[in-house]
Structure 1
Amino acid sequence: MPLDDQGLSVTGEAASVAALDRAVADYYAWRGDPLAVLREAADADPAFTLGHSAVASLLVLNGVPGDHPAVRTALDKAEASAAGATARERHHFGAAKAWAAGEIIGATEIWEEVLLDHPTDALALRFAHDSYFYLGHSQSIRDSVARVLPAWDEAGRNYGYVLGQYAFGLEEAGELRHAEEVGRRALALNPEDAWAVHAVAHVLETESRQAEGIEFLKASRPAWSKANALSVHNGWHLALYLIEQERFDDVLADYDRHVAPRLGEDSLLDLVDAAALLWRLELAGADVGARWTPVAAQWLTHVDDHVLAFNDLHIALAVSRSGDPEALHRFTASLDAYARDGRGDNHAITVDVGRRLIDGVLAFAAGDHRGAIDRLLPVRYKTIRIGGSHAQRDLLIQTLIAAAERSGQTNLARALLAERLAVRPTEKTRRAYLRADAAAGHA
């Protein structure tokens, strides 16, 4: 039985294992099209159980609903070949089935079982990593990698990427100094590791090191731009620094050059970044013109998917600013149906907190700032349940502050800004706090 790059047995032809190694390398590097590579190999090799299940896992992790025909076909092919597969490969199949059924937590538990016996299983590690990110399980993002890292060969071609994953987990768990150290170590091994760049960018943003962040991302852009699947997102991090410095023209120029032309490619991460970036610009006082229209149009092709509450939140941002009341009605009607008839982990998250956050941003967009506060304030410490990173969810705190300012609730605005100033002491936040303090009669 052939072995993959990590030394694990794989059921299938030698060509299938070579395709698996290539897909894993591309997946970790955020390059190429690992899904297409695995699909081609699996179509040519019916016995390639891991390839079939990995196709299903990649589809659902990329936002395709579990009942989509492409997912069902991949799962059916995995099941048809499972009798000849190894126990590890059958576990992968079980995890893919669980994710497709909406049991995201159950899928991570299966992948963790795989990693106990096979700590260098690259797919199990990355699938769990991505799933924990979607769930907002910050400590699991960190610890899942920590548990297996000693088993990885430091001379192996994917070791640096695993370090980059660990750096991001450390950052999300609040260990910023360690995160930057590990992230820069990963970059020393491979300057084109876009996820390690991403981890360091998170640290610099969280520590309000905007000038350093701008220099870091601009200097390394030729390297991280090669990671086509993450290039827009690392550009989004650059935009966060620039917005804090109120350099709106620079942000919009980058948006028009790097983001707008890719909307039609339908990458959900790019669509998330586009909606979040335009919303943040408007919160900061910029005029984004007609840029919302194509973002909303592309998001509407996913209006009935409801794979992640995090994605639905960003659909809400786009349709609420599109100026199309019919699109907004279509979105909220679909959410109502999902709340009534949905199932699985994301359904529970949506009912508990996701819909409240969505209603909050919809109220804000409609000019009902008090209504936005009524919806956002009670659940602001539960926003982690919708997943994403701390930096991405910060959009909701910024919206809440803006709602307090615009509704004349000066004491609330001052309190929220004092809280923010303690952890993000930027000049922009300091000025906003002084304005709120003066408005509240405490100049």
Structure 2
Amino acid sequence: MSRDSQGLAVTGGAASAAALDRAVADYYAWKGDPVATLQEAVAADPAFTLGHSAIASLLLLNGLRGDNPAVTGALGAAQASIGGASPREQRHLAAARAWAAGEIIGATDIWEDILVDHPTDALALRFAHDSYFYLGHSLSIRDSVARVLPAWDPQGETYGYVLGQYAFGLEEAGELRRAEEVGRAAIARNGEDGWAVHAVAHVLETESRQAEGIDFLKASRPAWSKAHALSVHNGWHLALYLIEEGRFEEVLADYDRFVAPKLAGDSLLDLVDAAALLWRLELAGGDAGDRWQPVAEQWLAHVDDHVLAFNDLHIALAVSRAGDRDGVLRLRRSIDAYVRHGRGDNRDITADVGLRLIEGVLAFAEGDHVRAIERILPIRYKVIRIGGSHAQRDLVTQTLIAAAQRAGRTGLARALLAERLAVRPTERTRRAYEAAAGATVGHG
């Protein structure tokens, strides 16, 4: 039996343990292809149980359905080799099986159980981190790392990446000062740590430090762009700052250079960012032109997947703004069927929150702003259930404000903008609030 770089036993040969280390390093760094690395290893070493189950978990966390042949094949191979596996490796398979069955929370509980006994299990830590992000469990994003951080070697190669995860958890939990401090410490260790850069970018956006955020991300772009799987997302954060400052031409130039060429790669995170960026640009008064169509076409390949309500919301953004009536109809029918016949945590989230959000943004795109308000306003404080970050979910609040403005609901618009001004006091928000306040007085 071999051991990984954290000293944990791995069923399989030394080459398999080395492949696991390479896959973990790439996974944490948002580089390379961890799945391909592990697939090559299990092909040479079928007894490498953790390799099989990790492939399944990585594919699931990257957006494949539990019944996808690549997932079921990896699960089957893990099961076939389970006889020689350790209890830790058996629990990894159980977690992957749970996620494949739609039990996202159950899978996360298993990974946390592994971490109690093996706090330096890098796969369990990152799988739990990603799962909490998908579930919108902000405090758990922070606390999952805090529970194990003392067990990690500060001199180890992975420690900086763990700090980057902790920084993001701190930000999502509202501890902005500590988040920035920890995030910058992680960047000081490794300037190419895209997730740590991402954590600091969140802090700067939340604190409305747009000019500083633009300088920070532009100056560090050569480094964080090397984290290729996260590069579009960090570029999306740059776009948020630029949109807030009305610099739409820069946003679209970056979109055409960095985002559009990657759409065909079918990364769901890239598709999320593309749809959200264009939607927010247009809410702010920009014009995305004909850029919506390729985004919608790529998203429609996933219209029946229903892995996350968060993803389905972004499908709705794209197909509605592309003017794809057939695509909108397909989405509505598919989600209705999923709510009636589906199962699992995401189905319950979709029924409770996701469906109403999707109906709201579809109504907004159709110009029915009153209906958009009716669908979104009652559930706005439950939106966290669809997952993603505070910054990503802010799209819903911005859409609601725009719907109130366009529906002539000036009192509601004024109230929502006053609320926003208290937490995001940007010049654009201040101007919008003053316009709404003046309109309300004028109607009085």
Name the TM-score class by shorter chain: over 0.9
1:34-53 to structure 2, matched below 5 A, reads 34-53=34-53
Taking the aligned partners of 1:435 and 1:66, their CA distance within structure 2 comes to 49
Q: Hey, what does 1:287 align to over in structure 2?
A: 287
Taking the aligned partners of 1:35 and 1:384, their CA distance within structure 2 comes to 30
Q: Deviations over 1:53-88 (max 9, x none)?
A: 000000000000001111000000001111100000
The letter for the 2-side match of 1:428 is: R
1:217-228 to structure 2, matched below 5 A, reads 217-228=217-228
Q: Hey, what does 1:379 align to over in structure 2?
A: 379
Q: Hey, what does 1:252 align to over in structure 2?
A: 252
The letter for the 1-side match of 2:15 is: A
1:365-376 to structure 2, matched below 5 A, reads 365-376=365-376
The offset of 1:259, in angstroms, is 0.1
Taking the aligned partners of 1:40 and 1:103, their CA distance within structure 2 comes to 28
The letter for the 2-side match of 1:44 is: A
The offset of 1:177, in angstroms, is 0.4
The offset of 1:442, in angstroms, is 6.3
Taking the aligned partners of 1:302 and 1:38, their CA distance within structure 2 comes to 25
Taking the aligned partners of 2:213 and 2:309, their CA distance within structure 1 comes to 29
Q: Hey, what does 2:422 align to over in structure 1?
A: 422
Residue 296 (structure 1) aligned with residue 296 (structure 2): yes
1:327-338 to structure 2, matched below 5 A, reads 327-338=327-338
Q: Deviations over 1:139-171 (max 9, x none)?
A: 000000000000000010000000000000000
Q: Deviations over 1:357-377 (max 9, x none)?
A: 000000000000000000000
1:5-404 to structure 2, matched below 5 A, reads 5-404=5-404
The offset of 1:314, in angstroms, is 0.2
The offset of 1:42, in angstroms, is 1.2
The offset of 1:406, in angstroms, is 0.2
The letter for the 2-side match of 1:238 is: L
Residue 433 (structure 1) aligned with residue 433 (structure 2): yes
Taking the aligned partners of 2:42 and 2:131, their CA distance within structure 1 comes to 23
Taking the aligned partners of 2:36 and 2:210, their CA distance within structure 1 comes to 38
The letter for the 2-side match of 1:438 is: G
Taking the aligned partners of 1:287 and 1:431, their CA distance within structure 2 comes to 20
The offset of 1:347, in angstroms, is 0.3
The letter for the 2-side match of 1:59 is: L
Q: Deviations over 1:257-283 (max 9, x none)?
A: 000000000000000000000000110
The offset of 1:109, in angstroms, is 0.4
Taking the aligned partners of 2:140 and 2:97, their CA distance within structure 1 comes to 21
The offset of 1:17, in angstroms, is 0.7
3-state SS, counterpart of residue 43 of structure 2 = helix
Taking the aligned partners of 1:36 and 1:274, their CA distance within structure 2 comes to 26
Q: Deviations over 1:74-133 (max 9, x none)?
A: 000001111100000000000000000000000000000100010000000000000000
The letter for the 1-side match of 2:81 is: S
Taking the aligned partners of 2:339 and 2:113, their CA distance within structure 1 comes to 32
The letter for the 2-side match of 1:115 is: L
The offset of 1:40, in angstroms, is 1.2
The letter for the 2-side match of 1:199 is: A
The letter for the 1-side match of 2:182 is: V
Taking the aligned partners of 1:442 and 1:130, their CA distance within structure 2 comes to 49
Q: Deviations over 1:235-269 (max 9, x none)?
A: 00000000000000000000000000000000000
TM-score by length of 1: 0.99
Q: Deviations over 1:324-371 (max 9, x none)?
A: 211111111111110111000000000000000000000000000000
Q: Hey, what does 1:408 align to over in structure 2?
A: 408
The letter for the 1-side match of 2:67 is: D
3-state SS, counterpart of residue 102 of structure 2 = coil
| Identity between Structure 1 and Structure 2 (%) | 77
3-state SS, counterpart of residue 10 of structure 2 = coil
